[in-house]
Chain A
Amino acid sequence: MMICSETSLSLAEGLQSTQSYNYTKYHSMDEIYRWMEEVERANPELVSSAVYGHTYEGRNITLLKLGLGNSEGRQKKLIWVDCGIHAREWIAPAFCQWFVKEIVDSYKTNKKLEQMLQNLDIFVTPVINVDGYLFTWANDSTRLWRKSRSPPPQGSSCYGVDLNRNFNANWGMVGASFNSCALTYCGRSAGSEPEATAVMDFVGGMIDQTLCFLTIHSAGQLILMPYGHPEISAPNYNELVSVGKAAAAEMEKIHGMTYTVGTSPQILYPNSGSSRDWARLMGIPFSYTFELRDKGEFSHLLPEEQIQPACEEAYAGALSIITYVHDKTFPDSVPPNAAVTSVSGFAVMILSTIMSVLLTAEVSE
C-alpha cells in the first residue's frame, strides 16, 4: 500500500540550501529527503547517496555515504551510523543530520577528519523507520508512536513491529513480546520487517570492511554495548567498555551531561533482536546503541532548544569511537603535525604511536 502524502505539524520550512537549513529544529520526512538531495548536490566530492531498501508502505530508506578518494587506491573501511529506528525518538534523526553537517563543514579544515575520510566511508541513515516517523508527524495524537507501520497480524488490530527487536540476533529470546499490541513486539519472525532486512542485507554484504556500527536512539543518556542477552558477553568486552567510557568522557566535557556505559542487561534491560546485537554477532567489532538526552524530564519530547547541545555532545562521543577504530586500523596514518617542524618523519611516527597508545590507555571510571 503506497501512501504518497503526509501532513506536517510545523510550518513548512524553506529549504534553499544546506547553509540555510536549520539544524536546531525538528524536520518532517519530506524536508529530510530534500535535505539529503541538497547535501549530495552541494558536496559531490564528499557525499553520495543510496536507496538500500523500502519501508512497508513503500518509501525509500536512504543513506548518505561520506568519504573522500585516496590516492593510493586502498580499500576503504566502513563506519555505519543509523538513526530513527524508533519513530518517536526525534532527537536521533536530528543528530544524524547534525553529524553530516559537522563533517561537511569541517573536513576541509580538519586534517585528521580529512585523512579519516580518505581511509573510511561513513554511511549515515537519517531515518530508518520512515513510515513510523511520518506517522508521528500526522497529528498531536500520534507523536508517541514507536514501532513501524506494518499491518496487524491475523486476529489483531494493532499495527507495527518494534524494529529493534526484529533483527536476527537471538530473536524473540528475551526482552521482546510476541503480542502484536505490545510496544516491544518482535514481529512474526526474525527479519520479517523490510526496514530491518534492508539494514541486514546492505550491511551484511560489507561485514569484513565494517569497523563500527552506531545506532542512535533516545532517551536515557546511555551508551549500550552488546549483548542484550544477560548470559552472553562479547569477546572484546573489555575493549568495548574502555572505548565506550572514553566516548562518555568526551561527551561529558561538552556540556557536563553524564552518559552511562554498559550492556543493556546491566544498565537498562535485557533485550534481543536489536540491530546492535546483530552487528556484533555478524563480526563488526565495535557496535553501540547511543541513547541520547534526556533522563526523563522530557524523554522523547526533547525541546528544540536542546537539539544543539544534545547533538554537540553526541558528535563528540561518536567521533571518539570512530577515531579510535580508525587509528587502530590505520596506525601508519599520521596527520601532518604543524607544531613539529624540525623533526624527521620517523620521529613523528614514533611520537604519534606513543600518543595513540596513551589515548587508548586513558580510561577513567
Chain B
Amino acid sequence: MATGELNPNHYPAQRAAKAVQHYLNTLYGSPYRVIFLNRVHSGYAEDVADSGRKYKLEITVQDHISNKTENCTAEVLFPGGEQQRPPQVQASLEELPTTDTKAEEEALFQKYKTNQGVLSEHLPDSHGHVDPDMEPFLHLGSAASSFIMLNESTENTLYNVAQVANVTQLKTENDQLKFDYYVLLHDMISQEIIHWKLLFTWSPQEGVKVLQMEKLPHSHHDETPQNNN
C-alpha cells in the first residue's frame, strides 16, 4: 500500500477522502445540505503500529445545494486486523454548516409532522429524475446512508448512494420525524450494489439519528428490490 507522500489523484488518497465525505455528512448532512468531495490537494499515509494505517489529507468539499466549497484538513485511521471495523475520522467544517437551512428544515418538519406512509420509491428514477418535492428526502437519505457508508469504508472501497429505493415515513416519535429507508449503495471497487435498510429519526434540532442499519442479502437476479414491504 502506498506510504508517505501520496499522489492526490491516485486512488489511495481518493478513497480515504471519500471516507471523510461520509463522516462530514454524518455531522452536517440534512434535507438541505449534502456534502461531496470536490478535490484532494495532498495526502500522506503511514502505518500505525498495531493500529492500522493513518491518512492525513488536505481536501476541498462542496455542498451541492448551496454550491459553496470549503477546504478541510482531515485524518483518517483505517484500523488493521482481520475483521473490518469502521475508520476513525477527524475533520470538521466551519463555513458550510452555517448555510442557512433552518427555515426550510422547519417548514419540512411541520409539513410532515403528522404524516405517515410510503413517500416515494426510486429516487432518482431510471432517467435520473427527482420530483422537486422529494429532493429533500433524497438528500436526507444520503445523509443517513453516510452512517452506513462511513462504517463500511476501508482502503478498498469507494461508496456512493446509487438510489433510494423506498422512503417510508413512520409515526412521528418524540418530536422527531421517523423513517424507514431502503437504499442501494454502490461500491465502485467491487462494482456491487449493496442493499440496506435504515431506520432513523430526523428533526431540525437533532439532525439525523440512526436507530437501526441492516444489510440485506439480495438475489443478483436484478439490481433493485422488486417488492417493498
Contacts and interface: CB of A to CB of B under 8 A. Distances in A.
A145 B193 CA distance: 9
A145 B121 contact: no
B124 A26 contact: no
A137 B163 CA distance: 16
B128 interface: yes
Per DSSP, chain A at the interface is loop
Interface string A82-122: 00000010000000000000000000000000000000000
B162 interface: yes
Contacts of A269: 11, 188-189
B214 interface: no
B9 interface: yes
B224 A142 contact: yes
B113 interface: no
A306 B128 contact: yes
Nearest to A262: B9
A11 to B, nearest CB: 11
Contacts, number: 107
Range, interface on chain B: 35 or more
Interface residues of A, number: 43
B127 A10 contact: yes
Given A142-B222, A304-B129, A299 B190 contact: no
B98 interface: no
Contacts of A10: 127
B189 A299 contact: no
B191 interface: yes
A143 B126 contact: yes
A159 B220 CA distance: 8
Given A183-B192, A260-B9, A144 B223 contact: yes
A80 B148 CA distance: 41
Interface in A114-134: none
Interface stretch (A235-243, A290-298, A342-350): A290-298
Given A262-B10, A267-B10, A299 B222 contact: no
B127 A296 contact: no
A13 to B, nearest CB: 13
Nearest to B224: A141
A351 interface: no
B221 interface: yes
B223 A143 contact: yes
B122 interface: yes
Given A9-B127, A302-B128, A303-B124, 14 more contacts: A25-B127, A143-B224, A144-B193, A145-B223, A158-B221, A267-B9, A268-B11, A268-B188, A296-B36, A297-B160, A300-B186, A303-B127, A303-B130, A304-B129
21 contacts: A10-B127, A25-B127, A139-B226, A140-B121, A141-B223, A142-B222, A144-B223, A146-B191, A157-B220, A182-B190, A182-B192, A220-B188, A262-B9, A266-B11, A269-B188, A296-B36, A299-B162, A301-B126, A301-B162, A303-B129, A304-B129
